[in-house]
Structure 1
Amino acid sequence: MLRIVEQALTPEIYCAIRDKVGFQPYAPEDVAAALEKTLYTVVIMDGDEPVGIARIVGDGRIVFFIKDVVVDPAYQGRGIGRLLMDAIFRYIDTAACDNAYVGLMATPGTEGFYEQFGFIRRPAPGLGHGMVCFVHPGRSSHTAL
């Protein structure tokens, strides 16, 4: 039976789920520091096994950024992503001011999933491109990858 568990994301769960999908690994101490600054987390459990995670970072009122919506590949296509996003928006609906900004960066091929929640692809009329860079402390430059 699937359960939604709020504010229970640990560095161990975070690293394990991301590893299952082949995402960039981070040191557990870096994950712990990041989770301390996270506004909200949600974990979907199947019994005692975490099968999906998501979190929100931001200022808690005007800007929310959805991060790390990740589902164990063995559970993909079963509605876990929808459960995660529904929980995310329940939280945002209680915290956000009118006209708050909610952003995310979609993994290639998942854009259609997020469009069902009202997200638009950028660029769009009146909006520029979404942009990202990756920081490598101690190096002289930042990179797109």
Structure 2
Amino acid sequence: MQAVLDEAAKLPGLASLELAVHAENAPAKALYQAFGFRRVGLIPGAVMVDGRSLDEVLMQRPLNFSSSAAAPAFIPDGDDYALIEAAPDVDTYRRLRAESGLSPKTEEAARRGLAGTLFAVQLRHGGETIGMGRVIGDGGGFYQVVDIAVLPAHQGRGLGKRIMAAIRGYIDRELPVSAYVSLIADGDARHLYAQFGFEPTAPRSEGMALFKR
């Protein structure tokens, strides 16, 4: 990737580079982000793989970085915390859920669930992922915000708000008009979600769930 960027920087009049990557390919997206590429759009159902219709994420990188070094790997977010747009790996995902007080997930459930991620962010501190949030759904009419988690040692610093701000940005950029976005608010977390436009559905509707044991 660095060789490609160095070569592109030599081309006269070239202002930016663009690429497309499968929306479910979190490792590839993380690689491109590490070289300064940022998400700029989405092509729903762009490719067919094994009979499945997959979305492609469009990413762009300006060429106004020095050709001798890669662009910053993370989106700066202050206070020594960095926000990246990528789903965590299975082990990290399970650890964050368990240590932040969310219900545990089996390895199989985590693997299958992460593969269906539409959008995800992680917060990193000192080389460790300490927070996350995801959006799942059918890609058109219905979406759900899930896995909002921050490790206890890092709570109380507005990090959940940073995660939700990134998710709200994705909702505003990518979701079609009439999309229904839901979430489950535990306890006082409802106050955080209210800041980003989420409202209680009761009494007109009542949330229900089934937890497979």
TM-score norm. by structure 2 comes to 0.59
Count of aligned pairs = 134
Q: Is the 8 A contact 1:44 1:51 kept in 2?
A: yes
Following superposition, the deviation at residue 112 of structure 1 comes to 1.2
Q: Write the letter of the residue equivalent to 1:133.
A: L
- Please give the alpha-carbon distance, in whole angstroms, between the structure 2 residues aligned to 1:111 and 1:133: 21
Structure 2 counterparts to residues 60-79 of structure 1, below 5 A: 60-79=139-158
Bigger fraction of residues in strand: 2
Following superposition, the deviation at residue 59 of structure 1 comes to 1.5
Structure 2: runs of 5 or more not aligned = 1-79
| Residue among 119, 123, 133 paired with 1:40 | 119
| Residue among 186, 192, 198 paired with 1:113 | 192
Pairing 1:133–2:210 present = yes
Which residue of 2 is the match for residue 141 of structure 1? none
Pairing 1:3–2:87 present = no
- Please give the alpha-carbon distance, in whole angstroms, between the structure 1 residues aligned to 2:82 and 2:140: 27
Q: Is the 8 A contact 1:60 1:95 kept in 2?
A: no
- Please give the alpha-carbon distance, in whole angstroms, between the structure 2 residues aligned to 1:134 and 1:29: 16
Structure 1: runs of 5 or more not aligned = 137-145
Pairing 1:12–2:125 present = no
The structure, 1 or 2, with the larger RCO (C-alpha pairs under 8 Å, 6+ apart) is: 1
Q: Write the letter of the residue equivalent to 2:206.
A: H
- Please give the alpha-carbon distance, in whole angstroms, between the structure 2 residues aligned to 1:79 and 1:7: 20
Q: Is the 8 A contact 2:87 2:119 kept in 1?
A: no
Following superposition, the deviation at residue 65 of structure 1 comes to 0.3
- Please give the alpha-carbon distance, in whole angstroms, between the structure 1 residues aligned to 2:143 and 2:87: 19
Pairing 1:91–2:185 present = no
Moved over 6 A (4+): none
- Please give the alpha-carbon distance, in whole angstroms, between the structure 2 residues aligned to 1:23 and 1:8: 17
Coordinate RMSD, CA, aligned: 1.4
**Same amino acid, percent of matched pairs:** 34
Q: Is the 8 A contact 2:92 2:129 kept in 1?
A: yes
TM-score norm. by structure 1 comes to 0.85
- Please give the alpha-carbon distance, in whole angstroms, between the structure 2 residues aligned to 1:104 and 1:12: 24
Q: Write the letter of the residue equivalent to 1:132.
A: A
